[in-house]
Structure 1
Amino acid sequence: MLECADGHSIMEVSRRLRITPDTVRTWRRRFIERGLDGLCDDPRPGVPRKITDADVERVIVKTLEETPKNATHWSTRSMAAATGMSQSTVSRIWRAFALAPHRSQIFKLSTDPLFIDKVRDVVGLYLDPPEKALVLCVDEKSQIQALDRSQPVLPMMPGVPERRSHDYVRAGTTTLFAALEVATGKVIGSLHRRHRAAEFKKFLTKLDKEVPADLQVHLILDNYATHKTPDIKKWLLAHPRFHLHFTPTSASWLNLVERWFAELTQKKLKRGVHRSVQALEHDIRAWLADWNEHPRPFVWTKTADEILDKVAAYCRRISDSDH
């Protein structure tokens, strides 16, 4: 109506507002016939609304502030019984307000007294890496089990997913030491049967050999005890180009190599069948080699301030909670 009042034609208004000419004609006619009242929606056909705003509010309040007597959370069936509404009505209300009582998430806040400093240090390496240096995310995936199913795996068929027996036979374990190059996504890996400072020292020696000698090396890693033994500290003193940056305690999500471990687990280990540790290690080495042929870096986007603001919001929610 404002466009028409400015003297634009129906076709020009249609083009400017990207609507059909018939729509422009309809609202022009309604405004001419009834004035401002004509711009309001006409009553729509259908069954009159039975669920009032008060009913909706009652379901929402009950969902957020109460729990059923015999369960830890509401279901559509229990909420329907408690409110006298149908399950479909409860389901529609929950969907409209994005409520999902059946779902829950877990979190763990770091109690590291140097949490803020460590977050800024690690995120700074991701977003603004130093020149003439290599940033590597280092960690160990320990106790990787070689599992063989007690019955043969039944292959996928049309309409039937792959099926594996619930029980399995353990054939031993191995540990993967991995260093993810932040810039390129390439991974340097090493497999060991044990998980001690001695194996970590061997892995550091391997990194020293494979990283060009003219580059400084910044390692992002967690606070595991094997990373801080006197022997490791002595090795670091003898190799001054290595610089260690520790993530805060209980903050493994800050280490990008954990994302790579998730890829390995999901795509190779979770559904893998291995009758020996040797077979498991062979598959891991093959997967690692294949990854390095076409590496894909994981791009960090969150700033330190954004992370700290989100943690602060969690802390406020916890302090304001009655639970």
Structure 2
Amino acid sequence: MPKARARQVVLDESQRKELEGVSRSRTDEARRVQRARILLMAAGGATDNEIASAVSLNKNSVRNTIAKFFELGIYGALGDLARPGRPALIDDEAKTWVKSIACTKPKELGLAQEMWTSRSLAAYVKGHCKEAGHVALSKVSASKIWSILDADDIKPWRMTYYLERRDEDFDKKMGDVLMVYKEVEFEIQADEASGTVFVSFDEKPGIQAIANTAPDLAPRPGMGSVARDYEYKRLGTVSLLAGMDLVTGEVVPLVRDTHKSSDFIDFLKIVDERYAAAARIKVVLDNHSAHTSKETRAYLETVPGRFEFVFTPKHGSWLNLVESFFGKLARVCLKGIRVSSKEELTERIYRYIEEVNAVPVVYHWKYKMDEVTL
């Protein structure tokens, strides 16, 4: 008969549940899993030899684990130095300090870079944690820094953009622009002229004339893309002043080297000649200084009642429908364009707009239109 143990291992319900959880764990340390099984089997009446055979240990190891249980309880027997809930090595105060550093730009801490990377942030934390009183961070890894910040969704190595409303009358001006679009919508549905022309206007400055230094190679079997030499030559820039008729979709262009008040006035003269003398021309445009300059105001006085300007809010040029056309122009005509001169660039812009006007597209504004009533 196997010799009975001098003292029987007795577990209460909470101890049993905890040991059972450890014994079934696939992520806990192997020695903790073994020791939990030892205590459970001992509480079930198994002998030391039976336990040793079941957990693949020698009898002395089994006895040592049971002895620790009697002396230190289950946490001592499992090898822990303290009960659950002991303070983490990196405490909440240290984590808060890491987050505060992450939310401070590196340049404000004397570094050259504008934004953190996980590695540079970890290096800074390890280099300054002792003086901040957080010695536990002296060996912190970049991945640990990432996990600390991720708990609060802090990602200082990423950048998103926002639009600050710097115009106190933003909502009112937006409402004025949307009212124009509502009038356009009504006129299109009514299918009859109201005596008002609606034009969405803007400039696209700095369109670069770029020349190849070697000819492009056309696609061919085995090389399906256009091949282009890396080197190129800059020939200067031009500016496109464009107004889009919001009812017909046709675009009125003017290409110049600059976009000064005189250029804007020349554009207005082209529009003035384009439409019937009795029509009122309502223009949606931004707050560029050329649109309100002394020269522009002087010209408008020579054609009283002809033009009505509806200004988008400051930093609200996205409300201007002609931006949709400029986006298409950039994607279809200007992307990757190579020319031999600024004159060729100008000619190709005009040619593209002729192609657009041959099959014009009427753009319809949708945002907040259900809130506008005539």
Provide TM-score, normalisation by structure 1: 0.61
User: Paired residue for 1:207?
Assistant: 271
Q: Map of 1:30-109 to 2, 5 A cutoff?
A: 46-47=26-27, 61-62=99-100, 64-67=102-105, 70=111, 71-81=113-123, 82=125, 84=139, 86-88=141-143, 98-105=153-160, 109=164
1:199 Cα deviation after fit: 3.5
Q: Map of 1:135-214 to 2, 5 A cutoff?
A: 135-153=198-216, 163-165=228-230, 167-170=232-235, 172-183=236-247, 185-211=249-275
SS at match of 2:345: helix
SS at match of 2:356: helix
User: Paired residue for 2:344?
Assistant: 279
Contact 1:177 1:191 in 2 (8 A): yes
- Aligned residue identity for 1:121: D
- Aligned residue identity for 1:187: V
* Structure 2 residue 338 is matched with structure 1 residue 299: no
SS at match of 2:303: helix
User: 1:194/1:80 Cα in 2 relative to 1: closer, same or farther (>3 Å)?
Assistant: closer
- Aligned residue identity for 2:199: L
1:219 Cα deviation after fit: 0.2
SS at match of 2:155: coil
User: Paired residue for 1:38?
Assistant: none
User: 1:173/1:76 Cα in 2 relative to 1: closer, same or farther (>3 Å)?
Assistant: closer
Aligned residues: 261
User: 1:160/1:289 Cα in 2 relative to 1: closer, same or farther (>3 Å)?
Assistant: closer
Q: Residue by residue, what CA displacement relative to the aligned partner does 1:2-44 show, whole Å, maximum 9, x if unpaired?
A: xxxxxxxxxxxxxxxxxxxxxxxxxxxxxxxxxxxxxxxx999
Q: Distance in 1 between matches of 2:274 and 2:116?
A: 56
1:165 Cα deviation after fit: 2.8
Q: Distance in 2 between matches of 1:179 and 1:267?
A: 18
Unaligned residue ranges in structure 1 (runs of 5+): 1-41, 306-323
SS at match of 1:275: coil
Q: Residue by residue, what CA displacement relative to the aligned partner does 1:63-113 show, whole Å, maximum 9, x if unpaired?
A: 653455544432122345545555456556767765432233566646556
1:196 Cα deviation after fit: 4.1
Q: Residue by residue, what CA displacement relative to the aligned partner does 1:220-256 show, whole Å, maximum 9, x if unpaired?
A: 112334334243212431xx24311122344433323
Q: Residue by residue, what CA displacement relative to the aligned partner does 1:103-156 show, whole Å, maximum 9, x if unpaired?
A: 335666465565443232123323454652342211222343322134445677
* Structure 2 residue 298 is matched with structure 1 residue 256: no
Q: Distance in 2 between matches of 1:65 and 1:177?
A: 42
- Aligned residue identity for 1:126: Y
Q: Distance in 2 between matches of 1:155 and 1:98?
A: 48
Contact 2:210 2:232 in 1 (8 A): no
SS at match of 1:295: coil
1:281 Cα deviation after fit: 1.6
Give the number of the structure whose alpha-carbon radius of gyration is greater: 2
Contact 1:220 1:244 in 2 (8 A): yes
User: 1:57/1:303 Cα in 2 relative to 1: closer, same or farther (>3 Å)?
Assistant: farther
Provide TM-score, normalisation by structure 2: 0.54
SS at match of 1:274: coil
Contact 2:282 2:310 in 1 (8 A): yes
Q: Distance in 2 between matches of 1:153 and 1:59?
A: 56
Equivalent of 1:242, from 260, 283, 307? 307
- Aligned residue identity for 2:99: V
1:191 Cα deviation after fit: 2.5
- Cα RMSD over matched residues? 4.4
- Aligned residue identity for 2:204: K
Q: Residue by residue, what CA displacement relative to the aligned partner does 1:165-204 show, whole Å, maximum 9, x if unpaired?
A: 355231x443322112335543222333454444433322
Contact 1:141 1:176 in 2 (8 A): yes
SS at match of 1:289: helix
Structure with bigger RCO (C-alpha 8 Å, 6+ apart) = 1
User: Paired residue for 1:290?
Assistant: 355
